[in-house]
Every structure is written in C-alpha cells, then in structure tokens.
Amino acid sequence: MDSGNIMDLFNRERPVRVCAPMVRYSKLAFRCLVRKYDCDLCFTPMIIAADFMRSAKARDSEFTTNKTDRPLIVQFAAKDAQTLADAACVVSPFSDGVDLNCGCPQRWAVSEGYGACLINKPELVKDMVRHVRNQIDKPNYAVSIKIRIHKDLRRTVDLCQKAAAAGVSWITVHGRTADERHQPVHYDAIKTIKDSLSIPVIANGDIKSMQDVEATCALTGVDGVMAARGLLANPAMFAGYEETPLQCVWDWVDTAVEHGTPFSCFHHHLIYMLERITSQPERRLFNNLSSTSAVIDFLHNTYGST
C-alpha cells in the first residue's frame, strides 16, 4: 500500500473504515490488532508537533511503526504552519499522510492554541495545509484535518471549503460542537458538510457497531467512518462481530507481548474488550490483576485457549 495512492481507499464499494487517533490507545500494537479485523486505515495518537521537533526522545517515544503498519496517518497538534510542515517531513517516509487536529476539545489543548480552537481560524488552517502540501515531495501524500462543528454550520462549511481549496485530501467531521460530549451526533450537519464539498468526508462520533456504520453512511452520504471507543470495546467491530471474539482477545495478548506493550496499556485494552462479555464479579477480579502472567492465567481459566 505504501507505494500506492492512499486516496484509492475511497474508490472502493464500501465506506473506508478508520481507527481514530486515541491518546494512549491507538499505538502500534493496537493498530496491528484492528488491521487484522478489516480496519482500512489507522491514525496514530495525537502528537504535539512542537515537542516532536524539539526532542529526539519525544520522537522515539511518540512515534513507532513497522513495515506492516500501513496505510498510516500521523496526527499532529500544531498552531503554526512551519512546525507542522517540519514534523510532516520527518514522518513522511514512514507514513501515508498527516492529519491536523482541529477537534480536541480539552481545555489544556484549546488554551495552548491547539485542537478545537482552530475551527475558528480558517485562514490559519488553510495556511497550514498549504505549507505541508508545498514541502512534502510525495505527490500521493495525504494532508487531512479532523474537526468539530460550529453551532452556526455556515462557519464550518466555510472552513471546510477553504481547507479544500488549500489542497486538503479529506476532512473527518466529529458531528458535535466543542462544548458537546455525550449529546447525540448531528448527522444533518455532517450531511450538509459532505454535500458542500467535492473531497471525501469521514464521519466520526458514536460508531459502535456495523449497524452504526451503515446508518451513519445512509444518513450522511460520507465516504468513510472513524471509530474510537467502539473499537476499544470491540477491536473486531469492522469485521462484523457484535462483541469481541475470543480469538481477538488472544490476538491482542500475542500482539501486545510481541511489541513489549507496558502492562497498564495491555491491561486497559483488555478491560475495554472484556466489558461486555464478563460478569461483574469476573470484571472486579480482572480489573485488579497486576501482572501479565496473572492476566494470561485468568484468560485461560475463564475462557480456555483458542
């Protein structure tokens, strides 16, 4: 895939299935797992571009990949065009595109000038997209943005059209405003944005099953869907499983051990995966385990091996 054009993903019959950028969670081992289960495209967790450029240590700890980890989008938080372009140049040999985070609603991010506050700075976003486009010499390299919506949707449409004019490859729309957390997703807003653009649009928000994928596409006409918590709970969701199959649990054990995943991350993923398939007493016991060997013993004793 790395020698081809990532935009070919959007020419298939079915919508593109995307694993969201999740802090702490969408790291290499988890990306390897969801790729086994029909995930088409993975994002890294959000990386702060300025820190990434400042320190080799940050680069090594924040960005790990391997030959099978493609197609891959590296998501950056940035607030000036040159820093984003510099970071994109560093990762471009090992990835298929970069994404600018314009949606993170966390207070620290917004107060630093990152994330969701960028949806109010369309000229800056346009400049950032253009800078990356001009400084990466791979013609098929993707430059995308991930946004939240405004209460006044005309402002969101304006932002998206400006980004498209600057050469953005696609736009991921989380169908909530920066103030909304668990409110229903505004599918009508996503549809309005999709209808106003000629580039692909990916919908994000409350994708927890393949029925959600189909319903979202039917309601909005988008070209792809991005899942976060839905994939944490069931990494095999895109392959059509209603809940995490046992094979997927064991695949995670193998993948995590192979990648030397820290115990807390290894354990947290399993807590999410097992939530729907364990009883409350089992969950209580499992959540208190404190070593990889104890976790593996629990899985063998509770479910047997695959």
| Residue pLDDT, tens place only, 106-164 | 999 999 999 999 999 999 999 999 999 999 999 999 999 999 999 999 999 999 999 99
Residue 58 in marked binding region: no
Give SS3 for 227: strand
Residue from 232, 230, 146, 228 nearest 190 by CA: 146
- Do residues 17 and 213 lie in contact, with contact meaning Cβ atoms separated by under 8 Å? yes
Residue 175 has pLDDT above 80, yes or no: yes
pLDDT at 111: 95
Residue 229 in marked binding region: yes
Residue 3 has pLDDT above 60, yes or no: no
187 vs 2, 17, 258, 262, 286, CA distance in Å? 33, 18, 40, 38, 37
Under the banding of pLDDT at 50, 70 and 90, the label for residue 2 is very low
- Do residues 152 and 140 lie in contact, with contact meaning Cβ atoms separated by under 8 Å? no
Q: What whole-number distance in Å separates Cα of residue 284 and Cα of residue 291?
A: 15
Q: What whole-number distance in Å separates Cα of residue 235 and Cα of residue 250?
A: 12
pLDDT at 306: 61
User: Rounded to two decimals, what is the model's pTM?
Assistant: 0.96
Active-site entry in 42, 104, 117, 160: 104
Residue 41 has pLDDT above 70, yes or no: yes
- Over residues 197-210, the mean pLDDT reads 97
Compute the mean pLDDT over every residue in the chain, rounded to the nearest whole number.
Answer: 96
Residue 75 in marked binding region: yes
- The answer to which of 3-12, 20-29, 180-189, 216-225 has the lowest mean pLDDT is 3-12
pLDDT at 304: 83
Residue 105 in marked binding region: no
Cβ-count burial 8-37 (b if 16+ within 10 Å, e if not): ebbeeeebbbbbbbbeebbbbbbbbbbbeb
Residue 231 has pLDDT above 70, yes or no: yes
Residues 46-75: tens digit of each pLDDT? 999 999 999 999 899 899 999 999 999 999
Residue 43 has pLDDT above 70, yes or no: yes
Residue 21 in marked binding region: yes
Active site residue 19: no
